[in-house]
Structure 1
């Protein structure tokens, strides 16, 4: 009965693994089998010593598997990656600061954004606006917005081309923030181009 439960749990775990993870686990299993085989051949004349060596190698093997799993978790936390799943779906892992970060190419320039579903518009810092060829000094700051830093003036602009992986949008409305802002915000004038926005299991998924 216990074997059946363990077998089902192992099968369920394997079903959730990617092809790369399965290949890496297979490599570790084969490495462990080779080490165990070598220990058996070398220790045929001294079974007690062989058992000790086998126990040591087993602990090393288990530690290697544990370290691999721990490194996967650490690397995902330290360096969360933006993953393009296919031509219409994007999965964004949550960053260490609790926000979702996404880098888009605006007019062929990579610009880092924080995703903000509460923002009605794409909001660019003046620094990012300058990077994509917009001169902040030439803009008309005719609108106002309430932010955590108070009321700021904004200038309407149009982003000629916005590229995310295989997804390209043109003539996307945005505003340039005339106040202090550390990072540009990706609001609903862009997010609204997707049919579905879902947050689950530490990921934000955009789907068209």
Structure 2
């Protein structure tokens, strides 16, 4: 647990103690009833703490993630609540989350994702440009040594690093066309490669 999380728990504990003391001072005559209510609130408090601690596990159950069927060369991506499809690729061994964008030509990394996979954006020449919905942005061409999706692996792939602000890296057609089949049906994007 980090210092911030310990501080938050300490604050919540202090707040809970203050509420309990206030309750006893206000209702001294009905002690048994108040102890029952205190126990109920204590259980609610513990349930909330447990839900926060287990949120990552709960989130993966409630919001399914991509499924890779390596033996079939098949990937299934569920549509996210925002209507987009997201794919996680291992680039040089580092997981990078992409928004799948069939309207984009290339694979475009944010500056932050580029740094995470071992590319230093400050050393790049941002001399290329791309047209986006938000206007033209400067980009720098790069080569990705290794891009893996389960057992499917590609080497020396061309990509770009975005010189501007971008929320997510984009996975465009230069990568998607490596698959033999791309289908969107029933809230899923299915990609197959033989």
Whether TM-score is above 0.5 comes out as yes
Structure 2: 5+ residue runs without aligned partners? 1-57
Query: 84, 90, 105: which one pairs with 1:105?
Result: 90
Root-mean-square deviation (Å):
1.7
Query: 79, 84, 89: which one pairs with 2:68?
Result: 84
Deviation at residue 146 of structure 1 after TM alignment: 1.1
Distance 1:94 1:149 in 2: 24
Are residues 1:162 and 2:147 paired?
Answer: yes
User: Mean alpha-carbon deviation: is it higher for 121-130 or for 86-95?
Assistant: 86-95
Contact 1:77 1:96 in 2 (8 A): no
Deviation at residue 75 of structure 1 after TM alignment: 7.1
Distance 2:109 2:165 in 1: 11
Q: Deviations over 1:73-92 (max 9, x none)?
A: x9789412111123411011
TM-score, scaled relative to structure 2: 0.66
SS of aligned partner of 2:113: helix
Query: 136, 144, 151: which one pairs with 2:129?
Result: 144
Distance 1:75 1:107 in 2: 27
Q: Which residue is equivalent to 2:107?
A: 122
Larger RCO (CA within 8 A; separation ≥ 6): 2
Listed as ranges, the matches of 1:181-196 within 5 Å are: 181-196=166-181
Distance 2:121 2:164 in 1: 11
Deviation at residue 192 of structure 1 after TM alignment: 1.2
Q: Deviations over 1:90-121 (max 9, x none)?
A: 01110011000110100000000010111110
